[in-house]
Chain A
Amino acid sequence: DAGVIQSPRHEVTEMGQEVTLRCKPISGHNSLFWYRQTMMRGLELLIYFNNNVPIDDSGMPEDRFSAKMPNASFSTLKIQPSEPRDSAVYFCASSWGNIQYFGAGTRLSVL
């Protein structure tokens, strides 16, 4: 398996634009996680899906953030409208059991 695949790897956008981050989990994994990593706050869990159903979205910072998992092989994290403080590295991870496997991340810069 190719592992967890995230796209794009880098995204530069202007404030106010919509941003969509994509994730393809490892085949057969039933849990998917979106994280955000910044120097100030470290690695924070945004939302967690199990069997394509959102289980906990308490980490989603505000209504500008939304996440979907329409099927077992694809998830998106959308920010609309984006703001400079959203600049961070966004990771997707998937798991079957206790070990989470991370993608390489999307580095987002909002100017």
Chain B
Amino acid sequence: KQEVTQIPAALSVPEGENLVLNCSFTDSAIYNLQWFRQDPGKGLTSLLLIQSSQREQTSGRLNASLDKSSGRSTLYIAASQPGDSATYLCAVESNNAGNMLTFGGGTRLMVKP
């Protein structure tokens, strides 16, 4: 059974700092990995999707990497801003799982002005 772990569970940084969020998964037979953002009281918004054949994806100040063989992914946020404060979740779609995702517990990020 696929298990997804995110470290740290919470992170507080000053504005402007570059930061890295970590995600690990136990079964490397994945179809893709996604990073989501969740604001308090809201649903999830997909930020980046990395196919299993890819190494990284970039969107603006966000860069996500994938090392499938070691079961790890990182989300890099450059020049963090208070508006980046949210919970970030990674999710994997395992092979033969249809479109079903297994989520990590999330990292709650606070960027202080």
B106/A42 in contact, CB under 8 A: yes
A102-B43 in contact (CB<8A): yes
Instruction: Decide if A43 is an interface residue (CB 8 Å cutoff).
Output: yes
B71 within 8 Å of A (CB atoms): no
Question: B44 is contacted by which of A45, A56, A95, A102 (Cβ under 8 Å)?
Answer: A102
The number of chain B residues with a CB under 8 A from chain A is 20
- Contacts A42-B103, A98-B93 known; A91 to B98 CB distance under 8 Å? no
On whether the beta carbons of A91 and B103 are closer than 8 Å, the reply is: no
Is the CB–CB distance between B104 and A56 below 8 Å? no
Asked if A104 and B49 make an inter-chain contact with CB atoms under 8 angstroms apart, the answer reads: no
**Is A111 engaged at the interface, CB distance under 8 Å to the other chain?**
no
A positions within 8 Å CB-CB of B: 4, 31, 33, 42-45, 48, 50, 55-56, 91, 93, 95, 98-105
What are 26 A-B residue pairs whose CB atoms fall within 8 Å in the complex?
A: A42-B103, A42-B106, A43-B44, A43-B106, A44-B103, A45-B100, A45-B102, A48-B98, A48-B99, A48-B100, A50-B98, A50-B99, A56-B98, A91-B43, A93-B44, A98-B32, A98-B49, A98-B99, A99-B34, A99-B46, A99-B49, A100-B44, A102-B43, A103-B43, A104-B42, A105-B43
